[in-house]
Amino acid sequence: MGLLKKFAAGLAVAATFAASMAIGSARAETVRFWYHFDNPANPMSELVAKFEKANPGIKIDAENVPWNSYYDNLYTALIGGNAPDAAMVKLFAQPRLVEMGALEPLGERIDAWPGKADLLDNLLELNKGPDGKQYYLPVQYVVLYLYYRTDLLATAGLKPPTTCEEFRDAAIKLTKAPETYGFGLRGGKGGWDQWGAFVFSQGGALKPGGLTNQHAVAANQWVIDLFRKDKVIPPSAPNDGFQEIIGAFKAGKTAMTIHHIGSSKDLVAALGDKVSAVPVPKCGNGRWTSYGDESLAVFSSSPHKDAAWKWISFLAEGENNVAFNSATGQMTVTKSGAKDWKLHERRFVDATVDSLPFAHVLPQNAATSEFVNTAWQTAMQRALTGQITSQQMMEELNALVAQ
Amino acid sequence: MSIVTTTRAAERSGSFWRRAHLTPYWLLAPAVVVTAVIVFLPMLQAVATSFYDLILFRPNASRFVGFGNYIKLLQDPVFWTALWNTVIWIGLTVPLQMGLGLITAILLNREFPWRGLARALIIIPWALPSVVIALMWRWIYDPNTGVLNDLLIYLSVVQGAVPWLADPHLALYAVIATLTWQGFPFFAVMILAGLQGIPKSQYEAASLDGASPWRQFLHITLPGIMPVLATAGLLRVIWVANSMDVIFVMTGGGPGYSTHTLPLYAFIKARQNLDFGYGTAIAVTFTILLGSFVAVYLARTMREVEK
């Protein structure tokens, strides 16, 4: 009898356990999240573990998608109906994503979110969609500035350039081809933001007619001449991407290049005190640098929008955001995180902050995605190699913008 | 006993013969169905898509344009550049791979110590994934840190670093060299198998008759491996024509359009610019061109081989 009772009790416990497991698994939601980190020491799993502990009903399936095909994969996944619930996204993709109806408006959720007050000023404004709605939640930012080799400039008796004239002059003096070149230009994929510092500052703009005016064409010619006439840029430039320009700068092949704080750790590890940074030079009467944004978004196709929102807002909060940025090497979007910022050397933070007043994003229209993805680089490469003129390049890009 | 009776009965009724007649079709059916579903159906779909103006991120603006994409294609200067690049791409890569493979096979067919090891090692380029090869060669060619320029400067062949992949006149040939290196082991192995199938007695007879090694090569070796060369050559033409992964990783089609081949152009249009209508029009056009080439090749070479 006693034995039977024990058995019955055991059975009851087992049944309850099984039932609670069933309920648990029925309630557990899985949020699929796409991101891209270049850094192999990736702390995403720690953030996921912390989040899952605080939100027992939600599982995060975070996938690191390689940057070079990130948007190709994202667009195809969205169209193919296999999109993640949430992802890291950049502003240039927003008009296309909005046109596709792929984004979930986040305005109300952000307003009700306690972390909103901790976001740096103006970021939400900068991230607004082309229709005025809020789809993006900022997660990190960078600003492009000019890296230079302190030792090489000192040897040549030069100060970091502040204008385009000084920049060209310094680049010529620093060039001792084929050992050293003055400037590492990124002529391959993703180089438009370096180019923007020289062309958008002098009257160029990504709008119909904005590229074909004489100032813009002349500014573009000036960049081409740096390569073709002054020869202050390594001959590999037309095919150079991020790896190549950073590699050449680290190896001492180039004395200056334009990139953001994300590469400072790597450069300091290789060069120590011999690398520093200043804002990009002032060209003509204007100054323009690229505000490199990164945000998080929830997709309208997601069946787990609330869970996805919980996860992305978690990443944009104080210390989580700092942990996130320690992986990407970029800047936190929170006031509390920025107060005690130790991830980068002061000189790079200063160069970033000093660049903010003239940092811009590209206009949000459908042509921007194609300009950034393929059009700029095919046109620039042909202009650099003398296949087309500056005027032809600008007309070709103008045709894209005017579509 | 009863089995025999039934079989005989079936034979008499003729249903056995009918069934035996159908067996090959039944056996082939799974392969045919799979091929139809995963190859022919998408092909038909691609042909249909090419008649539409379809940009994936504007699904609502999609409309039927008939031959519009094809007319646009013929007027597109990038199409003609890419077509010419494709001709150079196939026309140089396949013969170079075949030539290098032939030399390697003849060397490997001789007796020498460690021959087994050499035969195993030679296959490595073929066994590596294309993307690994592309990245590897990208760094070899790199003008700032690459080993090729270092070597050439050290040997005083060139004065300064040559931007192999950034010079529009060199980039395509640099990529062709990479693909030649990757693909020659395939020919080497195939030809080696062919060489081993040639009876030794033929060479002995020829040398008794006083034929020089060159004449032996011309009249025994070459005819002996002709069927292998024809088949392997055809396979390679198709593979090389369609392969774009190495180009994509090494140059992305640049600088400008100088390493665009037609499959790469179709890929860039369809996947990067999401212009599926135009992208499939390029792909369909290329399929027709390659298909006609293969048909002519088959008709001519197979006739030669069967002679």
Nearest Cα to Cα of residue A143 among A255, A30, A279, A265: A279
DSSP classification of residue B128: S
Q: What is the pLDDT of residues B159-197, one digit of tens each?
A: 878 889 988 899 999 999 999 999 999 999 999 999 988
Q: Tell me whether residues B256 and A381 touch, CB distance under 8 A.
A: yes
* C-alpha dihedral (A22, A28, A32, A35), degrees to nearest 10: -130
Asked if residues B167 and B78 have their Cβ atoms less than 8 Å apart, the reply is no
Structure-token pair, residue A319: 């210390």
Helix, strand, or coil here: B107?
helix
Which residues in chain A have Cβ-Cβ distances shorter than 8 Å to B58?
99
How big is chain B, counted in residues? 307
Asked if residues A83 and A350 have their Cβ atoms less than 8 Å apart, the reply is no
Tell me what pLDDT residue B96 has: 96
Tell me what pLDDT residue A354 has: 87
Q: Tell me whether residues A253 and B57 touch, CB distance under 8 A.
A: no
Q: Tell me whether residues B166 and A189 touch, CB distance under 8 A.
A: no
Q: Which chain B residue has its CA at the smallest distance from A235's CA? A: B163
Structure-token pair, residue A290: 């690229």
The helix-helix angle for A376-384 and A192-199 (nearest 10°) equals 70
Which residue has 């990190």 as its token pair?
A140
Q: Is A96 on the interface with B (CB under 8 A)?
A: yes
CA distances from B229 to A253, A275, B92, B187, B234 (A): 47, 57, 16, 8, 8
Tell me what pLDDT residue B15 has: 61
CA distances from A190 to A120, A228, B16 (A): 26, 21, 69
Q: Which of A99, A385, A388, A403 to mutate to test the interface with B (most CBs of B within 10 A)?
A: A385
Count the neighbouring beta carbons within 10 Å of the beta carbon of residue B114.
Answer: 9
pLDDT at B144 over 80: no
Query: In chain A, which stretches have pLDDT less than 70?
Result: 1-27, 39-41
Residue B133 pLDDT grade (very low, low, confident, very high; cuts 50, 70, 90): very high
Residue B2 pLDDT grade (very low, low, confident, very high; cuts 50, 70, 90): very low
Tell me what pLDDT residue A121 has: 76
Asked if residues A261 and A290 have their Cβ atoms less than 8 Å apart, the reply is no
Query: Lowest mean pLDDT: which of A96-100, B29-33, B37-41, B141-145?
Result: B141-145
Q: Is A37 on the interface with B (CB under 8 A)?
A: no
Q: Tell me whether residues A235 and B161 touch, CB distance under 8 A.
A: yes
Q: Which H helix or E strand runs over A172?
A: helix A164-174
Q: Which chain A residue has its CA at the smallest distance from B58's CA? A: A100
Structure-token pair, residue A355: 């660049």
Structure-token pair, residue B67: 């031959």
- CB neighbour list of residue A120: distance below 8 Å, 6 or more residues apart: A138, A333, A334, A335, A338
Taking only Cα atoms into account, the Rg of chain B, rounded to an integer number of angstroms, comes to: 26
Which residues in chain B have Cβ-Cβ distances shorter than 8 Å to A189?
252
> Which residues of A, range 339-398, sit inside 8 Å of B by Cβ?
370, 373-374, 377-379, 381-382, 384-385, 387-388
pLDDT at B3 over 60: no
Structure-token pair, residue A131: 């229709």
Rounded Cα gap, residues B269 and B288, in angstroms: 19
End-to-end CA distance of chain A: 86
pLDDT at B80 over 60: yes
Q: Which H helix or E strand runs over B131?
A: helix B130-141
Which residues in chain A have Cβ-Cβ distances shorter than 8 Å to B267?
none
How big is chain A, counted in residues? 403
Q: Which of B81, B131, B144, B153 to mutate to test the interface with A (most CBs of A within 10 A)?
A: B144
Q: Which chain B residue has its CA at the smallest distance from A79's CA? A: B56
Of A89 and B113, more confident = A89
Tell me what pLDDT residue A25 has: 46
Type of residue numbered A82: N
Asked if residues A85 and A308 have their Cβ atoms less than 8 Å apart, the reply is yes
Structure-token pair, residue A35: 């991101």
Q: Which H helix or E strand runs over A141?
A: strand A137-143
Number of CB pairs < 8 Å for A and B?
A: 101
Count the neighbouring beta carbons within 10 Å of the beta carbon of residue A223.
Answer: 24
Which residues in chain A have Cβ-Cβ distances shorter than 8 Å to B142?
236, 244, 247
Residue B84 pLDDT grade (very low, low, confident, very high; cuts 50, 70, 90): very high
What is the pairing mode between strands A359-360 and A289-298? parallel
Q: Which of A381, A382, A384, A392 to mutate to test the interface with B (most CBs of B within 10 A)?
A: A381
Structure-token pair, residue A349: 């933070």
Rounded Cα gap, residues B141 and B149, in angstroms: 7
> Which residues of B, range 59-98, sit inside 8 Å of A by Cβ?
59
Tell me what pLDDT residue A391 has: 95
Type of residue numbered A403: Q
Asked if residues A294 and A140 have their Cβ atoms less than 8 Å apart, the reply is yes
Which residue has 């927003």 as its token pair?
A94
Q: Which chain B residue has its CA at the smallest distance from A366's CA? A: B57
DSSP classification of residue A288: -
Rounded Cα gap, residues A123 and A338, in angstroms: 14
What is the value of ipTM here, to two decimals?
Answer: 0.73
Structure-token pair, residue B210: 């006083």
Which residues in chain B have Cβ-Cβ distances shorter than 8 Å to A381?
168, 254-256
Tell me what pLDDT residue B307 has: 57
Structure-token pair, residue A151: 């030792």
Sign of CA dihedral B295, B296, B301, B304: positive
The helix-helix angle for B2-13 and B15-35 (nearest 10°) equals 80
Rounded Cα gap, residues B131 and B137, in angstroms: 10
Rounded Cα gap, residues B124 and B101, in angstroms: 14
Nearest Cα to Cα of residue A72 among A294, A379, A378, A374: A374
Nearest-5° Cα angle at B278, A82 to B64: 90
The helix-helix angle for A305-315 and A318-328 (nearest 10°) equals 80
Q: What count of Cα atoms within 13 Å lies in the side-chain half-sphere of residue B252? A: 21
Q: Which chain A residue has its CA at the smallest distance from B168's CA? A: A385
> Which residues of B, range 124-163, sit inside 8 Å of A by Cβ?
142-145, 160-163
Q: Tell me whether residues B144 and A244 touch, CB distance under 8 A.
A: yes
Q: Is A189 on the interface with B (CB under 8 A)?
A: yes
Tell me what pLDDT residue A372 has: 87
